[in-house]
Amino acid sequence: MTAARKKKDNNINIRAALNEKELIKKAAEMSGLDTSTFMLYHSIEAAKRTISQTDTFKLSRRDSEIFVNALLNPPEPNEALKQAFKRYKEVFGNKV
């Protein structure tokens, strides 16, 4: 058995209502795919899309400029930040 074949020896089982199953079967047939291939392909695409949307965020032009400006010109630390940093140093020392 090849390495590629071994990777496909895992099962994913789902339960669906009859009308959902028939809908997926019809779409798979219209795509020229069997139901399992259709479901796997579209599940992988949805998973990639979900991960991409979670891992990245998009800013408007205005928000991008505000964000970059804050990175390039950070404000002076306020008293709360100074106290937080002091407590951090007490707990963790100079490990940054």
Q: Tell me: the pLDDT tens digits for 36-92?
A: 999 999 999 999 999 988 888 889 999 999 999 999 999 999 999 999 999 999 999
Q: How far apart are CA 38 and CA 40, in angstroms?
A: 6
Cβ atoms of 35 and 25 closer than 8 Å: yes
Report the domain count for the chain.
2
Report field, pTM of the whole predicted structure over 0.75: no
User: CA-based Rg of the chain, rounded to a whole angstrom?
Assistant: 26
Identify whether residues 47 and 15 lie together within a single domain.
Answer: yes
Q: pLDDT tens for residues 3-28?
A: 555 577 888 999 999 999 999 999 99
Cβ atoms of 28 and 38 closer than 8 Å: yes
pLDDT, residue 2, reads: 55
The identity of residue 56, as a single letter, is: T
Q: Backbone dihedral region of 15: left (phi > 0), alpha (psi from -120 to 50 degrees) or beta?
A: beta
Identify whether residues 39 and 71 lie together within a single domain.
Answer: no
Identify whether residues 10 and 36 lie together within a single domain.
Answer: yes
pLDDT, residue 96, reads: 61
Predicted confidence (pLDDT) at residue 93 exceeds the cutoff of 90: no
Identify whether residues 44 and 9 lie together within a single domain.
Answer: yes
Identify whether residues 33 and 65 lie together within a single domain.
Answer: no
Residue that is written with structure tokens 């392909």 in the block? 41
Domain that holds residue 26: 3-55
